[in-house]
Structure 1
């Protein structure tokens, strides 16, 4: 048996221990007050081991955020066997973010918000590409592929601010209403639904808070 697989398992185990240690410590004090030594000690690894895997505590937290975003994408992405509408996709995404509200709040503690916005941007870009192929609505009103990256950049900043406000307010607005609000901003046209799929609902106005 190759020696690579055990090393991979050890890497995954160490990263998981460090993530778990960080999350436990974040229940006690904010990220800004934590030290690498505290995290390493809680994970029962050396500082050297920490730096073999991460450059900073923010990068460690971002690794957890990446895992959460992977789960959100997996739940929301359309596929050849799962054609969805824009509003359905948005509803699933907000529902997943609500289910991971603790992790969302932690991500918003990261001082360099550009790191978090870049994660959101990648998430949006993935959704846009998948929806181009498997979505039910016509997105031809959106810019051509040449300019889609600019659109993803624009949306990422807005989504970050939206999630920050939503989290700050305790997620009091239901995920479905948040999805309706965002959907009302998007230029989409409805196509004839594919067999076995209903049309997405029409856009609605901003929900009252």
Structure 2
């Protein structure tokens, strides 16, 4: 992607975040977004097909940044299961927190199902590519998919609850720690049952 296109997309994302502080996504017009971003209507449509697609694009970027940090952590063999989950979730929550206004809008609006799907893909990848392989157990593909989907649902629920919490009552570290404890211990029980 060329630099000009990337800048236009970022301007539109920032404009949307600005307007979402006072309005819902349905109340914001394309004209307001382009005016605030300082771009033409043609530029908007050459980058996005809807306001929701701005959200999805931004969320994909947020998740990719979180996954890049997680990949660096994957290379470390000295990180325990709980710590790995906790640090990975904290990375994700910190990235979400930087774009909290957009993330809240994404998970509550028309783009919500697609955002949840993107989050499920990321969390399933996290679980299947690292967490499960820390167990001395040969999971079948079907078991892996089932376990990843189950825990992805739990993590998604925790993240969504944290994003929509108003006023904010839980900090990032406590949510990450909670998830970090639940998943490995639940999987320990699963492995013992199936062994």
**TM-score with structure 2 setting the length:** 0.75
Q: CA deviation at 1:138?
A: 0.8
Structure 2 match to 1:115 = 114
Alignment equivalent of 1:31, drawn from 21, 25, 28 = 25
Does the 8 Å CA contact 1:139/1:187 hold for their aligned counterparts?
A: no
Root mean square deviation of aligned Cα? 2.8
Q: 1:62 to 1:144 in 2, by over 3 A?
A: same
Alignment equivalent of 1:89, drawn from 69, 84, 96 = 84
Alignment of 1:19 onto 2:28: no
**1:52-78 Cα distance to aligned partner (Å, 9 max, x none):** 111111110111111211222122233
**1:84-134 Cα distance to aligned partner (Å, 9 max, x none):** 33321222233234433225323323324220111112211331343169x
SS at match of 2:45: helix
Q: 1:175 to 1:28 in 2, by over 3 A?
A: closer
Distance across 1 between alignment mates of 2:75 and 2:115 = 29
Q: Tell which structure's C-alpha radius of gyration is larger.
A: 1
Map 1:29-178; keep pairs closer than 5 Å.
29-77=23-71, 78-81=73-76, 83-99=78-94, 100-101=96-97, 102=100, 103-131=102-130, 137-138=134-135, 140=137, 143-169=139-165, 170-178=167-175
Does the 8 Å CA contact 2:60/2:118 hold for their aligned counterparts?
A: yes
Structure 1 match to 2:182 = 184
**Is there any run of 5+ residues in structure 1 with no aligned partner, and where?**
1-6, 190-209
Distance across 1 between alignment mates of 2:111 and 2:62 = 19
SS at match of 2:74: coil
Q: CA deviation at 1:171?
A: 4.5
Does the 8 Å CA contact 1:108/1:164 hold for their aligned counterparts?
A: yes
Does the 8 Å CA contact 1:104/1:167 hold for their aligned counterparts?
A: yes
* Alignment size in residue pairs: 180
**TM-score with structure 1 setting the length:** 0.71
Does the 8 Å CA contact 2:90/2:173 hold for their aligned counterparts?
A: yes
**Is there any run of 5+ residues in structure 2 with no aligned partner, and where?**
190-195
